[in-house]
Chain A
């Protein structure tokens, strides 16, 4: 298939970006989206047209969370429940024009072309997204039974891959779905319960500090999440947060 690509090019964080148009011919529909970009880059290098397009990617099987492109106005493109690397060209048509942009959100500044800096997510986890158990000295794994439905729910909340699509999709650049996934997972489990109140307060504070916007309940995050994290996580986090503020003895 033949394609026209409109790709965001930006030299570095400070430079002004712009769209460039490239033509590709004879792309196999079996190709993945990122393989299509590989082909483009080979062409750009071989024909000495421009510097290759930079885009983040690693595992190419939808689990590392490294890739993330805004494709025709949607994070990770038109398919539901997949990351950019799992999107295949058979989803497009011969002759299509495809617009490719980086995540657009203030807390995720562009590094180059389609690559953004998502270290803000690491900082939120560092603020409290853990249990304080250090290595060794913990009880037997079966010492505390956990109801299956709770464990399953915690697993669903934990399946976030930290790609940032939720932030990119949100008109307020809110990170509520990301933060609430971790808060929920740990609040649901007895091992995380001890520090639940202090955790939610610290993580929300850090999220606000880093410039992520507020949640106004449009749930674009849920619609675009490649791992289909549910909005109930946000509800649970709000509940945890209010309880922590009102009832918690800890400061």
Chain B
């Protein structure tokens, strides 16, 4: 059994990363060429890691499921990326960004990792500008900043509403350069189906060529996983259709611990669900909360009239509107962190004040339009308004938007130490697929920061430190019996799924799983509900393995089979999320247990008993076992989050 050693370097907080870099082991250029690195995923973390490791001279292979590395879902991030540059001179600093991130994560993240994140945040902006990322600028020609997601300083850099796109294209261009130089080999339309572990170390992966159906074996002296989050376990989420937690589950089953699976972020400003056929939910950037005001009717009868179409938002006079966030949180108002805003919306809708289908609240720009003028509002949010209008067929300049929370990001993920190494030596995890930096709740514009920090500025050091001891090891031929075994496991899994020939489609089952998860393991969780969820998940699992119907063509493009393989793993994850939520008898960040709240309905943490990371170990044929990594706050004073 692996032990949880977080390997935090000695020294004061601001010296740790410097000390690490000064004492880490290096690999000389001639040896770098002989070392193989596998990177799975080409989002911000994967593309930046592959490009940086390739530029150092390692022999990198990079894999993605889409037709091009530029498609990864990092591309959809709208709002921006944080950095402690303090260009506006408004009091920001590395220490402040560090503190905000720890506090935003409800004191459930590791201090040393978060401090390093804040430390390298500034390098990211420099790097991106050098790549030609067209960040927004002021008339001075210098970079523009905005405040975002409840921060009291303006530290967010942005490129219109397409920051993720521009950052990803920057990383993709750096990756493309390395591909041309031959240090990185790119494999598209490949999905990782298994991890190969030899003598306790990660030594390779098995992929499925999605076009030909062929299983392939790849050796690496180490493997970097950058495969994103598992939000699609809930079926409806803001993730892309292909986003999945499958590769992480494969690693979990091979011995990598899975940390804090119950920390799932539910984003407050998404376009609400309106039909059973719906395949995904679209996020409306958090930046809208800078100028939009969130409300529901004060009177139940008004809410009902709106739902029945007898009244519209504009019929409700000002005094009959309940701006509930401004009412409950006067200091932060509409800008409270995501978890708080989401729960408040659910609370109002559950109490009967919801509009639309009953599961929606208004996001109103009328006072911003009065104050700033329509042109200014259009300049700030034009593309978002247009996107809303395309989907909802309503003009947000005239009637308020309708929004509702939706699953957006997963803070939990593979457990990693300070070096971003999992409990399997030689297996690293970066970006959303690790658990490392956001604690129980992620702040806006911090996901892009973390993905790029891991890929550009952390892994090139820590992977090298690991590989320094590998220079004596020749590449292992993929005819090794462990490769045989890993490939056979995948073959067996595929054969089993295809042989079922049942009556229920993959989507039907994934939707059912999603309903269970949203209902019982969503925004408000209870012991009773979670205990109910576990057998329900088990039931979907049994039906999957006995009644799923998958198109049989194995040797060509077969999206149904891809989805089935992912669902099989999502079912594992679903019960792990529920189990973790059940053991965590407290409310913190994105995890809200209704039993644990203050009289005013705020989250009630239990620092005495739950200030730890819950890392789950897979046990074949038995219940998973949880290990604890205690969180020691040496530098920060732990407080109750207060946004009033």
Decide if B559 touches A126 in the complex (CB within 8 Å). no
Instruction: Verify B277–A86 contact, CB threshold 8 A.
Output: no
**What sequence of 0s and 1s flags, for each residue 8-50 of chain A, a beta carbon within 8 Å of any chain B beta carbon?**
0001100000000000000010111011001100100110000
- Quick one: which of B135, B176, B275 contacts A126, CB cutoff 8 A? B176
**Which listed residue, A86, A117, A185, touches B132 by the CB 8 Å rule?**
A185
Closest approach, in angstroms, between the C-beta of B82 and any C-beta of chain A? 14
A58 to B64, CA, bound (A): 13
* B12 CB to nearest A CB, Å: 24
Indicate if A118 sits at the interface (CB-CB under 8 A). yes
Task: Tell me the residues in window 110-166 of chain B with beta carbons closer than 8 Å to chain A beta carbons.
Answer: 123, 125-132, 134-143, 159-160, 162, 164-166
Measured between alpha carbons, how far is A147 from B138 in the docked complex, in Å?
8
The answer to whether A158 touches B134 (Cβ under 8 A) is yes
Chain B residues whose C-beta falls within 8 Å of the C-beta of A54 in the assembled complex: 557, 559
* Stretch touching chain B among A70-78, A137-145, A235-243: A137-145
Q: Would you call A134 and B165 a contact (CB within 8 A)?
A: no
In the complex where A52-B551, A58-B240, A151-B135 touch, is A130 in contact with B173 (Cβ < 8 A)?
yes
* Contact B126 A139, beta carbon cutoff 8 Å: yes
**Contacts A57-B241, A115-B557, A141-B143 hold; do A38 and B277 have CB atoms under 8 A apart?**
yes
Q: Which chain B residues lie closer than 8 Å to A118 at the CB level?
A: 67-68
Note all chain A residues with C-beta closer than 8 A to B624.
none
Which of B66, B165, B186 interacts with A63 by CB under 8 Å?
A: B165
For the complex, give the distance between the alpha carbons of A82 and B131 in Å: 28
Q: How long is the Cα–Cα vector from A42 to B69 in the complex, in angstroms? A: 29
New A-B contacts (19) at CB < 8 Å, excluding given A112-B211, A135-B460: A35-B278, A58-B73, A59-B71, A64-B71, A64-B73, A66-B66, A82-B390, A86-B387, A88-B390, A122-B188, A126-B176, A130-B174, A134-B177, A136-B456, A141-B129, A147-B137, A154-B134, A155-B159, A159-B165
C-alpha gap A155/B143 in the complex (Å)? 13
Among all A-B residue pairs, the 8 with the closest Cβ atoms: A145-B141, A130-B173, A138-B130, A133-B130, A155-B134, A134-B55, A135-B52, A154-B134
Selecting from A92-100, A169-177, A186-194, A213-221, the interface stretch reads A186-194
- Check B277–A31 contact: CB distance below 8 A: yes
Most B CB contacts (10 A, CB to CB) among A46, A131, A133 go to A133
Return 23 A-B CB contacts under 8 Å, by A number: A45-B551, A52-B559, A57-B241, A58-B73, A58-B241, A63-B76, A64-B76, A65-B68, A66-B67, A79-B390, A111-B557, A121-B68, A130-B173, A135-B55, A141-B143, A147-B137, A148-B138, A155-B166, A158-B159, A159-B162, A162-B70, A189-B132, A191-B130
Which residue of chain A has its CB nearest to the CB of B161? A63
Decide yes or no whether B169 CB sits under 8 A from chain A: yes
How distant is A158 from chain B, measured CB to nearest CB, in Å?
5
The yes or no answer to B172 lying at the interface (CB within 8 A) is yes
B75 proximal to A (CB < 8 A): yes
A35 CA to B162 CA in the complex, in Å? 24
B279 within 8 A of A: yes
Q: Is B393 an interface residue (CB 8 A)?
A: yes
A62 close to chain B: CB less than 8 A: yes
Residue pair A135, B457 in contact (C-beta under 8 Å): yes
Per DSSP, chain A at the interface is loop
Closest to A192 in B: B132
| B391 beta carbon closer than 8 Å to chain A | yes
Q: Any chain A CB within 8 A of the CB of B553?
A: yes
Q: How far is the CA of A38 from the CA of B169 in the complex (A)?
A: 29
**B76:A61 contact, CB within 8 angstroms:** yes
- Is A90 an interface residue, CB under 8 A from the partner? yes
B250 CB–A CB distance under 8 Å = no
Instruction: Knowing A39-B277, A130-B131 are in contact, say whether A88-B391 is a contact too (CB < 8 A).
Output: yes
Known: A31-B275, A141-B126. A135 touches B67 (CB 8 A): no
Q: Is the CB of A12 within 8 A of B556?
A: yes
Chain B window 180-195, contacts with chain A (Cβ cutoff 8 Å), 1 for yes, 0 for no? 1000001010000000
